[in-house]
């Protein structure tokens, strides 16, 4: 069986062959950003809050995608890094009085280090074994956060309540609107960073390891270093998402970060498209809105409806939204320009 079948990731489309497709994707991207920027002006605060959460999960999924889609390592434990990021923000704000904006780089740094260190021993593990190890991390995290030695900082089972920031410089925005725009800017910056990374020497090294680790080494790629770095960067993205999540929800507690969160991020990754960076937004939307849709449909059977939606989606687009977009783009591309190669 072809290795591509098990992990249907999509690397960035080549620039000049796909002139049309890339252009179209570029315009679509711009349109999406414009819509995202305009949305909160027309919506109620609760919906704005939901959209903010969508962006936050998108950031977390973007991080997971760098690890899984780009570098080919699995994680069922990214909720743990999200939790570390969230607690970092909460503790720095409430115990040390740090301004919320500064908690993001702090959370990113701490999660980078945690991810890198976790990635080092995990180097020996492949595929499902790595998934199992990360699963252990996710399961252990809530218990760890409840430890009584850490209670002076973590607040134990009670968790930490965070004050919600106001819009700065007297901007005429509600708190929710402000946090939405703040998150949107962070998300765009991180997306830019991730896209640059994927198109760079480091990104190619990560993808080379994913596609053929042996050949990558023969080309001079230090697999161990890059795989650990991928874990670190991935955890940093997810940690920054966690910090934003803490600020937006104004509360952290151990049971907000159970294994279910890790699974949700993984589901979001697959639904959005493994290896397709923009898919993170689709994944984020799925995490936030599909449970609500399921509930609207039938409150008592919400879980079952959610499951059925998930099954249908995976059957209809087995390579996630990314695969679907690519197929459509390929189709349109062929229609618009006869291919020069036979």
Partner 1 sequence: MPRGKLQTIPLVGGERLPQQESASLPLLTIRDVSVAFGGIRALDGISFDLHRGQVLGLIGPNGAGKTTLFNCLSRLYTPTSGDILFEGKSILGRAASRMAEIGIGRTFQNLASFSRLSVRDNIRVGAHCRSRTDMLSDGLRLPWMRRAERRIDGIVDELIAYLELRSVADLPMAGLPFGTLKRAEMARALAIHPKLLLLDEPAGGLNHDEIGELGRLIRRIRDERAVTVLLVEHHMNLVMSVSDRVVVLNFGRKISEGDPAGVQANPEVIRAYLGSGRA
CA 144 to CA 99: how far, in whole Å? 26
CA 181 to CA 186: how far, in whole Å? 9
Beta bridge partners of 251: 161
User: From the CB of 9, what's the least distance to partner 1, in Å?
Assistant: 7
Which residues here bind partner 1, judged by CB under 8 A?
2-4, 9-11, 14-17, 193-194, 196-197, 200-205, 207-208, 210-212, 214-223, 229, 233, 275, 341
User: From the CB of 278, what's the least distance to partner 1, in Å?
Assistant: 17
What is the SS3 assignment for 95? coil
What is the SS3 assignment for 161? strand
Residue number, 219 or 308, with CB nearest to partner 1: 219
User: From the CB of 299, what's the least distance to partner 1, in Å?
Assistant: 43
Q: Mind giving me the DSSP string for 272-311?
A: H-TT-TTHHHHHHHHHHHHHHHHHHH-STTHHHHHHHHHH
Distance of CA 58 to the CA centre of its chain: 5
Residue number, 21 or 146, with CB nearest to partner 1: 21
CA 322 to CA 264: how far, in whole Å? 18
Residue number, 193 or 289, with CB nearest to partner 1: 193
User: From the CB of 72, what's the least distance to partner 1, in Å?
Assistant: 10
Closest CA to 89 of 26, 29, 151, 164: 164
User: From the CB of 3, what's the least distance to partner 1, in Å?
Assistant: 8
Residue number, 233 or 271, with CB nearest to partner 1: 233
Residue number, 50 or 202, with CB nearest to partner 1: 202
CA 174 to CA 182: how far, in whole Å? 12
Question: Are the C-beta atoms of 73 and 278 separated by less than 8 Å?
Answer: no
Residue number, 14 or 101, with CB nearest to partner 1: 14
User: From the CB of 320, what's the least distance to partner 1, in Å?
Assistant: 15
CA 29 to CA 328: how far, in whole Å? 16
């Amino acid at each position: 069986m072809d290795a591509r079948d098990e992990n249907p990731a999509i690397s960035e489309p080549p620039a000049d062959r796909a002139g049309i497709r890339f252009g179209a994707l570029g315009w679509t991207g711009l349109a999406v950003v414009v819509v995202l920027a305009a949305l909160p002006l027309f919506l109620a605060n609760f919906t704005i809050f939901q959209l903010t959460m969508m962006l936050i999960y998108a950031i977390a999924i973007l991080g997971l995608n760098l690890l899984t889609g780009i570098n080919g390592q699995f994680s069922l434990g990214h909720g743990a890094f999200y939790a570390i990021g969230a607690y970092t923000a909460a503790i720095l704000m409430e115990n040390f009085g740090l301004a919320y904006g500064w908690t993001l780089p702090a959370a990113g740094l701490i999660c980078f280090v945690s991810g890198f260190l976790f990635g080092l021993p995990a180097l020996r593990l492949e595929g499902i074994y790595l998934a199992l190890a990360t699963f252990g991390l996710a399961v252990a995290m809530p218990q760890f956060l409840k430890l009584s030695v850490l209670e002076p900082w973590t607040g134990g089972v009670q968790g930490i309540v965070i004050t919600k920031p106001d819009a700065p410089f007297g901007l005429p925005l509600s708190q929710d609107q402000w946090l939405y725009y703040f998150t949107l800017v962070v998300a765009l910056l991180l997306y830019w960073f991730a896209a640059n990374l994927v198109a760079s020497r480091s990104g190619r090294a990560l993808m080379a390891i994913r596609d053929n680790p042996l050949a990558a080494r023969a080309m001079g790629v230090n697999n161990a270093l890059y795989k650990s770095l991928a874990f670190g960067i991935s955890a940093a993205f997810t940690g920054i998402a966690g910090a934003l999540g803490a600020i937006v929800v104004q509360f952290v507690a151990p049971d907000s970060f159970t294994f279910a969160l890790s699974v949700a991020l993984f589901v979001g990754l697959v639904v959005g498209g493994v290896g397709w960076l923009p898919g993170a937004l689709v994944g984020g939307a799925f995490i936030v809105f599909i449970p609500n849709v399921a509930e609207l449909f039938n409150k008592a059977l919400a879980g079952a409806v959610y499951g059925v939606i998930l099954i249908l989606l995976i059957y209809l687009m087995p390579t996630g939204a990314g695969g679907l977009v690519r197929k459509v783009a390929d189709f349109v591309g062929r229609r618009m320009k006869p291919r020069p190669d036979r």
